Structure 1
Amino acid sequence: MSDIHPPSADEGPARSDREKILEGFMALLAEHRFERIGLGDIARASGISLSQLRREFSSPVAIVAAYMKEIDLKVLSGGDADMAEESPREKLFDVLMRRLDLLAPHKRAIRSLLRSAACNPPLALVLAGFGAQSQRWMLAASDIDSAGLKGMMRAQGLTMLFACVLRTWVDDEDPGLARTMAVLDRELSRGQRWSGCLDRLCAIPEGLSRIGSPRPRRRRGRDGDPVAA
């Protein structure tokens, strides 16, 4: 891509190579499809050498994973004390809206990535895996159980839910994000019903194990009355 230029030298305080790469990559992604961005493009846009890029990341996909982790950390470190009295559903709503606020500076890049994933199943699968990791942390931040198989299934469900919200958010130009919040509220209501079904479904094996467990053995007393063993 010949139209890629390194950032100017007077762009604020000194940043680490990692920060330069994340910003440079997201700037590229805002203008170009993911599959068209090469390693040399990322190095030039970040103002670093290929060896510096290789020291930090192995691939463009690894940069996406690092960006998502950075968003996770910012969400988790920005907890509001006022949320303490909220229900888990209300907490999750606030946590996901905070995530969208943090993604906002790179909305064009997120839109581009979603469009690439829509026609690139392997990329979509990788992003879904990254998303499930992130959403497990979002569940934890909302005081919703994320442990074990049930937690994994909740995280997968929340990943699909948030992807649906993102598709609305990337085209929502309203500063108040009315459409986005309406979709998030609707999807959380559906997710709450699904989570209830999941709880009941996971309770079935426990009930079956109780049914199938051996009953206490009983012996007969001298007078013929049964006595617990």
Structure 2
Amino acid sequence: MEKSGSPKGRSTKAAASRGGEKGAGTGAETGAQAPKLPPREAAVEALMRLAAEQPWNDIELGDIAREANLSLAELRDLFPSKGAVLGGLSRLIDRKVLEGDTSDLADEPARERLFDVLMRRLDAMTPYKPALRRIAYALRTDPLSMLALNGVALNSHRYMLAAAGIDTEGPLGRLKLQGTVIAFSRVVETWLDDEDPALARTMARLDREIRNGERVMERAEDLRRLTAPLRALGRSFLERRPRRDRRDAGNEDDGNPLGGDPAAAI
């Protein structure tokens, strides 16, 4: 991946994006002020309002349904669990990022594109920051929930990398994807405690994580090149083995004129 300078030069577009988004109406508004939302989005927004005000483990499905003005039956049709509603927030954030214009990033190096896309993701998460801070604290001791959320994050960041023009196919692509999820989770930890409107600490952490990711990918690509002959030899062995097995099976059938299992001839 390409190298570049400090994050200061890359913060201009992200800061401009934040200014535009803060002026627009976004989630976590009170039910009386919020416009009529589609039921799925209403449930997500209801959960975020509740999570901003009370402990995560105290929130029940009935609370979400009431806050969203939905019946339990309607909520069940939308989401199977509270965790799934939280996963719905990730999809909502995905859409906000992907609907943004990224054409100005087309000529930028890959690391610049990724930096800007992930900053836009943080911008879209900003209205939910109080709720996310409480949720993150509650889920630190819940490994099963963290594992489920990792799957949600993999799906989201597959699209974030696509928006940055970075491929995610093949073994190295999967390594990039999981690495991005881990790196972004570290950036979010910094972001949750970063009260500076300019997000200087957050941007510095994001720049550092991207640089670390570049070094890991460079080593992985070197290792892949070094092991290419061994992988080619392994593929050749596996491709030849079935043919030998078929020849052996044919020899074993010589005693049976019909071939195969003798019982099949009865």
TM-score (normalizing by structure 1): 0.84
Aligned equivalent of 1:108: 130
Measured at CA, do residues 31 and 13 of structure 1 come closer, stay the same or move farther in structure 2, by a change above 3 Å? closer
2:47 counterpart of 1:47: no
Aligned match of 2:185: 163
Amino acid at match of 2:220: L
Aligned match for 2:154, one of 129, 132, 147: 132
Alignment of 1:172-183 (within 5 A): 172-183=194-205
Aligned counterpart in structure 1 of residue 224 of structure 2, from 180, 202, 210: 202
Q: CA RMSD in A?
A: 1.8
Aligned residue pairs, count: 207
Q: SS where residue 193 of structure 2 aligns?
A: coil
- Runs (5+) with no aligned partner, structure 2: 1-29, 238-266
Whether the aligned pair in 2 keeps the contact of 1:71 and 1:99 (CA below 8 Å) is yes
| Cα shift at 1:210 | 4.6
Task: Compute the displacement of 1:34 (Å).
Answer: 2.5
* 1:104 CA drift (Å): 0.2
- The structure with higher relative contact order (CA 8 Å, sep 6+) is 2
Question: 1:59, CA displacement in angstroms?
Answer: 0.7
Deviation at 1:203, TM superposition (A): 2.7
Q: Which ranges in structure 1 are unaligned for 5 or more consecutive residues?
A: 1-5, 215-229
Answer with 92-101 or 189-198: which moved more: 189-198
- In structure 2, give the amino acid aligned to 1:7: G
Q: Supply the distance in 2 between the matched residues of 1:17 and 1:210 (Cα, whole angstroms).
A: 52
Q: Which amino acid aligns with 2:31?
A: P
What residue in structure 2 maps to residue 217 of structure 1? Answer: none
2:212 alignment partner in structure 1 = 190
SS of the residue aligned with 1:85? coil
Q: For residue 226 of structure 1, what is the aligned residue in structure 2?
A: none
- Does residue 72 (structure 1) correspond to residue 72 (structure 2)? The answer is no
Match in the other structure for 1:219 = none
Moved more, 30-39 or 199-208: 199-208
Q: Which residue, out of 83, 87, 96, partners 1:61?
A: 83
User: What CA deviation, in whole Å up to 9, does each residue of 1:124-159 have, x standing for no partner?
Assistant: 111112112211111111111101222222111111
Aligned twin of 1:122: 144
Identity %: 43
Mapped pair 1:7 → 2:31: yes
CA contact (8 A) 1:133 1:155 kept: no
